[in-house]
Amino acid sequence: MRRRAHLTTSVLIAVCALLSSGVSRARAGETPGENPAPPKFRLPAEVVGPTRYRVDLTLVPDQNTFTAAIDIDLQFAKPSPVLWLNAEKLEIKDATLTVAGEKVTAKIITEPHDYVGFAFDRSVGPGPATLHAAFQGEISRKDQQGIFQMKDGDQWYIYSQFEAIYARRAFPCFDEPNYKVPWQLTLHIKKDQAGFSNTPILSVTNADEGMKTVEFAETKPLPSYLVAVAVGDMEVVDAGTAGKKHTHIRIVVPRGHSAEAKYAAETTPAILNLLENYFGIPYAYDKLDEVAVPLFGGAMENAGLVTYGSAIIIQKPDQDTPERQRGWVSVASHELAHQWVGDLVTTAWWDDIWLNEGFASWMANKNVNAYHPEWKMNVSELNGYQGAMENDALVSARQVRQPVQSNNDIINAFDGITYNKGSALLNMFESYMGPEKFQQGIHRYLLKYEWKNATSAEFLAALAGDDRTIAAAFSSFLEQPGVPLVTAQLECHDGAAQLDLTEQRFFPLGSSGAAPQLWKVPVCVRYAAGTGSARECTLLEQKSAELHLTQTTGCPGWVEANDGANGYYRLLYQGDLLDDLLKNDAQELSVAEKVALIGDLAALTKNGKIALGKALALAPAFAQSPARQVVTKTMDITTGLQDNLVSDDLLPQYRKYLLALYGGRARELGWKAQPGESEDARFLRRALLGVVGNEAEDPEAIAEAKRLALAWLDDHKAVDPDMVGVVLSIAARHGDRDLFDRMRAAAKKETDENFRGNLLFCLGLFQDPEIIETALPIALSGEFDVRESLGILFAPSERRQTRDFAYDFVKQNWDLLVAKLPTDTGAYAPYVAAGYCDAGHRADAESFFTGRSTKSTGGPRILAQVLEGIDLCIAYKNAQEASVNEFLKSYKPAASAGSQ
Ligand SMILES: [Zn+2]
């Protein structure tokens, strides 16, 4: 599963309707005495499990419910008077169990929430039996979980999303990843529509009343969360074949969108071939369909039927952008990597979900680098790793391998720690072990566990064979939260040089964390030696260690203590090491190493090791780099200070600083792509103009953005498609009622999902109080699909001037919000307070959301992290405000700044 990074989109990904498992347990105790006790959390695997499913679904778009039946072949390991399955929002009509040709009636137990029990009139088992159940379920119009429907144009289409715990909304089942068995699906659909599932169609037969029956081949062993369906008036684009087994690939789109699938159809075979070559195992399934799902906020690796948000997989050729295409190749690489890591070999339980998600993220990065090295995906990925480090600095951070003991834990497991830290760890140990040895280990792992489940311990044993050191070091990062802070100090004596290394957990100022922690950290360094450089690695296992730099005589001129930026640690240079590196424009460093260094500088202002004023003074040296990734990384240090750190009287100075850093190059690049310019220039233009207009508030940029926004509203050709978001956001932040009305009307007519998303988000960016008060209710009014208009609620919380409106609106409309928004979106509501930086709002948010957002699945940890973020902001402001303002007071742009 791949989620979009943007907060407002992550909010769109609703989580399930369960109350916390604590509540489930409480209710279980209230179940009438004659019913056998339901499971506490997991189903009793020691009693009974499935061996095969047959599912029969009648799916008609634009209906609110579906009817269905399921037959589950079971194997009882011991006698039991009851069979417990997972089920949610299902109405079971009747059920019978067949044992040795004899029918046993089952009484249906509908409590507690999350489960259905089938109580028999006698004990059943040990041995085989088959359960038959007929039932009805919901085709949701507000959620994107279970079986749901989305509208494209005036047509409804049905799709499914079962990961992590939503297959139970489609059929009663053993909804845990360890139950991995074959499934056979049959769909009853309208004659003029198409139906898709994980496998090829075996037969189609016409039925009565304009319906037909579509029977699919039995699947290979799959957990419930990987089963999928899609139904509607879809078009199919042939994408040829790929892989050793010449697998047939198709792109499935809503009617009228075939031309937009061109890039996906052209690139999928290459993506699949590269993955197959790396894994050394052929693609395992009989076909591959990739499905465009309107408004879907992510992508899902269902075996043989991968779903993607339409905005990811399709685009009109004349509106397409390098960003969309790169995003597509990256997401497709992630989902298709899952066909091996996740589908062929499945995590045994959700506590090891990093084996699916960290792995697929790491493999996607590797795959994109192999396919398009010039895109420098490894540098983009590094930003993801550093994002994980930021989250990992919280005391409320999850471990990569966190015990999963409730539905809250399952939902929380799909976070940046699982995806990005998991990926970063694979990257670090690949670099430490060497890529070839690492690849062989992965091949061994996949071969050993194909069609089965695996755990972290099994992965590590297969990866490193007899080398226990690797497994122990890797585990030290999987089994404890936090990011190490490594300090490096150079010592030179008698012609010999050594690096003194220490490790401790990185805690920001204001953190309540203090407990000592140790990791076994692979540290690889590069340093000046002779006329070139040398590399040396060590495993830092104790609080401190020495690394002898054996290939230099005398003191090396420079040392990079995180070679290739492959280490998952923050780095603090002692003595002159940093200054030595920065000499000569840090020319010894790669682009990735420069990005890591800037990210570390930003982080070190957070724990007080570097004054923010000093970091602001260092940023200009990097801001004129030829590598756009380096330029944009400086924004980690320089932007976003206006809301909490810069005093009002110094705002003009701060804006002058930003303009000096980015204004000249922004002006050079202009607002429109030039013929023949590089894709890097297009990315840089957008980033620079975004800062110049939105943060430096340059009057010229604002005026131009307003002019372009109006022109674009008349004619979309007036603005490059990748500039639309920036143009509209700058214009909206400084816009009047007339512009607001025009944007709102345009959003209603807009047929492009990306543009409509831009427009809706921008409705929340206007600063005039009257406009904000008109905008916020639109999120809940039904004027737009709520799955799309949710962003309006969060947009005003980005800025100090408008934050209160969004926060107060959420508080005042809580009950309506919970009723209207997708199930469990309330878990994410505390993000509306995430920008605050004072004790009063912190206390208010805690008292308001406790008992409210925490009732949604995944809610408690999200609230804890938002509150901890506010605490850290308060401490950061106290520590760094003076240094920032002192820097700005005396700041004068260098004569040449901004012109290079
Ligand atoms: Zn994934």
Tell me the pLDDT tens digit for each residue of 393-420: 999 999 999 999 999 999 999 999 999 9
Q: Which residues are catalytic?
A: 335
- Answer with the residue of higher pLDDT: 7 or 223: 223
Residue of 421, 406, 389, 420 whose CA lies nearest to 508: 389
Peptide bond into 164 cis (omega under 30): yes
Helix/strand/coil for 492: strand
Helix/strand/coil for 295: coil
The tokens describing 313, both together, are 């997989």
The pTM of the full predicted model, rounded to 2 decimals, is 0.95
Look at residue 898 and tell me whether its pLDDT is greater than 60: no
Task: Taking residues 16-38, report their average pLDDT.
Answer: 40
pLDDT tens profile 143-168: 999 999 999 999 999 999 999 999 99
The tokens describing 370, both together, are 């192999």
**Distance from Cα 391 to the centre of ligand 1, integer Å:** 19
**Distance from Cα 331 to the centre of ligand 1, integer Å:** 9
Dihedral (Cα; 207, 136, 72, 119), 10-degree rounding: -140
**How many residues make up the chain in this entry?**
900
**Distance from Cα 774 to the centre of ligand 1, integer Å:** 38
- Answer with the residue of higher pLDDT: 842 or 12: 842
How would residue 32 be classed by pLDDT, with cut points 50, 70 and 90?
A: very low
**Distance from Cα 419 to the centre of ligand 1, integer Å:** 8
**Distance from Cα 342 to the centre of ligand 1, integer Å:** 8
What separation in angstroms does the CA of 458 have from each of 222, 347, 388, 442? 20, 11, 25, 11
Find the distance separating the first CA and the last CA of the chain, reported in whole Å: 42
What pLDDT is attached to residue 6?
35
pLDDT tens profile 531-546: 999 999 999 999 999 9
How would residue 584 be classed by pLDDT, with cut points 50, 70 and 90?
A: confident
Q: How far apart are CA 760 and CA 783, in angstroms?
A: 11
Task: Taking residues 36-53, report their average pLDDT.
Answer: 95
Q: How far apart are CA 716 and CA 735, in angstroms?
A: 19
Look at residue 349 and tell me whether its pLDDT is greater than 70: yes
pLDDT tens profile 806-833: 999 999 999 999 999 898 999 999 999 9
Residues 6+ apart with CB under 8 A from 336: 268, 271, 272, 275, 288, 301, 306
The tokens describing 179, both together, are 């139950």
**Distance from Cα 553 to the centre of ligand 1, integer Å:** 48
What pLDDT is attached to residue 36?
76
Cα of 181 vs its chain's centroid, Å: 28
**Distance from Cα 312 to the centre of ligand 1, integer Å:** 14
**Distance from Cα 354 to the centre of ligand 1, integer Å:** 9
Look at residue 14 and tell me whether its pLDDT is greater than 70: no
Taking a C-beta distance cutoff of 8 angstroms, is the pair 876, 509 a contact? yes
Taking a C-beta distance cutoff of 8 angstroms, is the pair 407, 114 a contact? yes
User: Left (φ > 0), alpha (ψ -120 to 50) or beta: where does 858 sit?
Assistant: left
**Distance from Cα 329 to the centre of ligand 1, integer Å:** 14
How would residue 35 be classed by pLDDT, with cut points 50, 70 and 90?
A: low
**Distance from Cα 365 to the centre of ligand 1, integer Å:** 13
What pLDDT is attached to residue 900?
30
What pLDDT is attached to residue 297?
82
pLDDT tens profile 194-235: 999 999 999 999 999 999 999 999 999 999 999 999 999 999
Helix/strand/coil for 523: strand
Q: How far apart are CA 900 and CA 896, in angstroms?
A: 7
Q: How far apart are CA 421 and CA 371, in angstroms?
A: 23
**Distance from Cα 168 to the centre of ligand 1, integer Å:** 20
What pLDDT is attached to residue 24?
30
Angle between helix 737-749 and 699-714 (nearest 10): 40
What pLDDT is attached to residue 345?
98
- Count Cβ atoms within 10 A of the Cβ of residue 587 and give its class: 0-12 exposed, 13-18 middle, 19 or more buried: exposed
Taking a C-beta distance cutoff of 8 angstroms, is the pair 756, 787 a contact? no
What's the farthest any 2 CA atoms get from each other in the chain? Answer: 93
What pLDDT is attached to residue 3?
59
% of residues, the chain, pLDDT over 70: 96
DSSP-assigned letter for residue 345: B
How would residue 897 be classed by pLDDT, with cut points 50, 70 and 90?
A: very low
Helix/strand/coil for 218: coil
DSSP-assigned letter for residue 84: E
Look at residue 69 and tell me whether its pLDDT is greater than 80: yes
**Distance from Cα 343 to the centre of ligand 1, integer Å:** 11
Residues 6+ apart with CB under 8 A from 341: 355, 356, 359, 360, 363, 446
**Distance from Cα 448 to the centre of ligand 1, integer Å:** 22
What pLDDT is attached to residue 465?
84
Neighbour tally for 534: CB within 10 Å: 15
What pLDDT is attached to residue 553?
87
pLDDT tens profile 596-632: 999 999 999 999 999 999 999 999 999 999 999 999 9
Residue of 640, 861, 5, 725 whose CA lies nearest to 386: 5
pLDDT tens profile 843-854: 999 999 999 999
The tokens describing 590, both together, are 């790669």
How confident is the prediction for the chain on average, in pLDDT? 94
What pLDDT is attached to residue 34?
58
Query: Of 20-34, 305-319, 475-489, 542-556, where does mean pLDDT reach its minimum?
Result: 20-34
**Distance from Cα 137 to the centre of ligand 1, integer Å:** 27
What pLDDT is attached to residue 357?
98
Taking a C-beta distance cutoff of 8 angstroms, is the pair 577, 561 a contact? yes
pLDDT tens profile 317-343: 999 999 999 999 999 999 999 999 999
